[in-house]
C-alpha cells in the first residue's frame, strides 16, 4: 500500500530491475528504445492502486495500451553460398525457431547471418558457426552430404555428429572419414547444435552486461551452451515449452 510505514515509492520502483528475464526480455524486445519503466508491471500496479483509492476504475485505462503483435526478431541475413555448398537451415526455418522459443532467447540478439565459410571444399577444418559479441551469430555454409574429410575426427567430434544423427565411415587408404547426414539431420544439427548452442553463449554473455571478454571459463561456457542446445532440441520435438 502506498504510504505504508517503512515502504517508499522509490524503493518499490527499484523492483523493476529485478524482473525475471522472461518478462523483462519480452518488454524490452517489443519496445527497445523506451525508458526502463515502460509498461513495467510494478509501476502499473502502483498506479492502478492509487487510481482505485481515488475511486477511479483503472482497467479501461491500463489494459487498452497493450497489444498482441508478435515481438520483432533479430535480422536474419543470408549471403548466397558458393558453388558446391548450401545453407542447411533456411531463413524461414531459423525464423520459426526464434519465434518458437520467444523473446527470452532473442533478447539482445542483433542479427543471425548465413555466410560463406571461406574454406575450400572438404577441407580438414569444418566451421559451423560462432557468436560475435555483442549479439551477432554467424552460421557458415556447408558442403552437402556426404562429407569426405581427411584424417579421423576427434572422439568428441564423433560423439557430437553421431548424436545429431550422422553416420561415420572410416577409410584406411588413404586415411579419410566419410560423414553422411540422412534426411534432415544436417539441417537440425545447424539449428540446434550450432544456432541454439551459440544462443546459449549469447544468453550467458548478455546477462553479464554484454562484455566482449568471456564471462566464464571456456569449458564452463561450452558446457552451458551444450546443455542449453540439447534442452532446446528436446523441447522443440517434445512438449513445446520454452527453455528455462
Q: Give the domain ranges of the chain.
A: 9-65, 75-237
Average pLDDT over residues 126-152: 90
Total residues belonging to the chain: 244
Q: Per-residue pLDDT tens for 157-180?
A: 888 889 999 999 887 766 888 999
Q: For residue 164, what pLDDT is reported?
A: 92
> What's the start-to-end Cα distance of the chain, in Å?
32
Q: Which residue is it, cell 561415420?
A: 168
Compare 46 and 201 and report the one with higher pLDDT: 201
Q: Per-residue pLDDT tens for 9-40?
A: 333 444 445 667 666 676 666 666 555 555 55
Q: What is the DSSP letter of 74?
A: -
C-alpha cell at 41: 508491471
Q: Per-residue pLDDT tens for 182-225?
A: 999 999 999 999 999 999 888 888 766 555 666 567 777 788 88
- pLDDT over 80 (residue 78): yes
Give 110: exposed, middle or buried? Use CB within 10 Å, 0-12, 13-18, 19+: middle
pTM beyond 0.85, yes or no: no
236 φ, ψ (degrees, to nearest 5): -65, -35
Q: For residue 227, what pLDDT is reported?
A: 86
Count the neighbouring beta carbons within 10 Å of the beta carbon of residue 186.
Answer: 24
Count the neighbouring beta carbons within 10 Å of the beta carbon of residue 107.
Answer: 23
- pLDDT over 80 (residue 88): yes
Amino acid at each position: 500500500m502506498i504510504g505504508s510505514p517503512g515502504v517508499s515509492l522509490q524503493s518499490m520502483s527499484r523492483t523493476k530491475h529485478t524482473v525475471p528475464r522472461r518478462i523483462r526480455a519480452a518488454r524490452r524486445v517489443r519496445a527497445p528504445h523506451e525508458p526502463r519503466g515502460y509498461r513495467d508491471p510494478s509501476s502499473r500496479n502502483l498506479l492502478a492502486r492509487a487510481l482505485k483509492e481515488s475511486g477511479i476504475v483503472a482497467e479501461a485505462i491500463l489494459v487498452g495500451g497493450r497489444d498482441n503483435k508478435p515481438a520483432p526478431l533479430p535480422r536474419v541475413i543470408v549471403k548466397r553460398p558458393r558453388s558446391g555448398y548450401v545453407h542447411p537451415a533456411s531463413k524461414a526455418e531459423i525464423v520459426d525457431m526464434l519465434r518458437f522459443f520467444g523473446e527470452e532467447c532473442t533478447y539482445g540478439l542483433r542479427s543471425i547471418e548465413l555466410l560463406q565459410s571461406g574454406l575450400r571444399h572438404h577441407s580438414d577444418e569444418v566451421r559451423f558457426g560462432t557468436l560475435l559479441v555483442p549479439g551477432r551469430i554467424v552460421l557458415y555454409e556447408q558442403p552437402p552430404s556426404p562429407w569426405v574429410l581427411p584424417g579421423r575426427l576427434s572422439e568428441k567430434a564423433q560423439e557430437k555428429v553421431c548424436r545429431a544423427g550422422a553416420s561415420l565411415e572410416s577409410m584406411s587408404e588413404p586415411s579419410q572419414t566419410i560423414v553422411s547426414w540422412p534426411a534432415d539431420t544436417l539441417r537440425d544439427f545447424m539449428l540446434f547444435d550450432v544456432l541454439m548452442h551459440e544462443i546459449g553463449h549469447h544468453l550467458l554473455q548478455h546477462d553479464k552486461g554484454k562484455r566482449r571478454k568471456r564471462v566464464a571459463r571456456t569449458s564452463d561456457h561450452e558446457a552451458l551452451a551444450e546443455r542449453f542446445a540439447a534442452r532446446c532440441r528436446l523441447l522443440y520435438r517434445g512438449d513445446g515449452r520454452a527453455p528455462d
